Homo-oligomer: A and B are copies of this chain.
């Protein structure tokens, strides 16, 4: 069956997801579009989804009986309202990060979904769909023994002036926060941030790099280097140390070349190239669940926990060196 999809927000990521639905993946069709900038929605209709209806508002789109499931890819501050509306309409909803701009907002979504009694929301934490992380999780479950430590790095070649210290958590570490919970099947109990000297390329309002240390309920210690002025490339590293051995996230596929006295593999420089394949997989997962009237993958709860954890990490930045406790409410049965 083909799920009829409405897209709210047709900027870069919304357009790209529309393309995936209509041109790459089986199982879905874009039937409705909406954007605060109507011309943007019209352009996506013209280029990608000629059969779609353009709605004035996200709420109207959600209300349309033609729309069976919703992609929320609008400006972050509007996510909460559209997701709540989709839940209220009982329609499966894929929401890009962040689920809401505050932990409280995310909590309202969780509460609404729990009240509905079934999973309707998938949050766009695409790393869980990356073939490398999937294989890493399998390696950890099958080979390395129970995890004890994780060593990780999130490096970006450069950031613009408006990227300030807390964004290293909200925009960058957020991916590690979600994917490590999933990888380890665990929750965080504390966060700590240690700042080395500032990198020469870091601009005035940013303390870069930083080392975030997370501890989990099961006693795993995770250290994550965040370095967004690392200059040499976009590079995601992750090593899990278990009772019996160690497993490491693969480098992205690259041709090994021997050139100019160097044995060399390209390193990516643009984050958009790093997890590009996982967007297809996450949307395919969304379509399959939506065809059943539900959602799977990263949940509202995951989005809420990520928000709480991020907030704690930002406090930990301010309390440099100190462990900041992270406490979560009880997990509703819906998310077990």
Binding site for B on A (CB under 8 A): 21-27, 131-132, 135-136, 138-139, 143-146, 148-149, 151, 153, 192, 194-201, 209, 211, 213, 215, 218-221, 223, 225, 227, 230-233, 235, 241, 243-251, 253-269, 284, 321, 323
Contacts and interface: CB of A to CB of B under 8 A. Distances in A.
Interface centre among A26, A144, A248, by most chain B C-beta atoms within 10 angstroms, is A26
A223 B220 contact: no
A263 to B, nearest CB: 4
Contacts of A235: 258
B265 A262 contact: yes
> Assembly of this chain: how many copies?
4
Contact of A196 (B148, B253, B255, B256): B148
Contacts of A195: 221
Contacts of A25: 24-26
Closest 4 CB pairs of A and B: A197-B219, A245-B259, A196-B221, A246-B258
Contacts of A250: 253-256
A58 to B, nearest CB: 25
Contact of A263 (B199, B215, B231, B251): B251
A209 B255 contact: no
Given A24-B26, A25-B25, A246 B253 contact: no
A277 to B, nearest CB: 9
A215 B321 CA distance: 12
A259 B135 contact: no
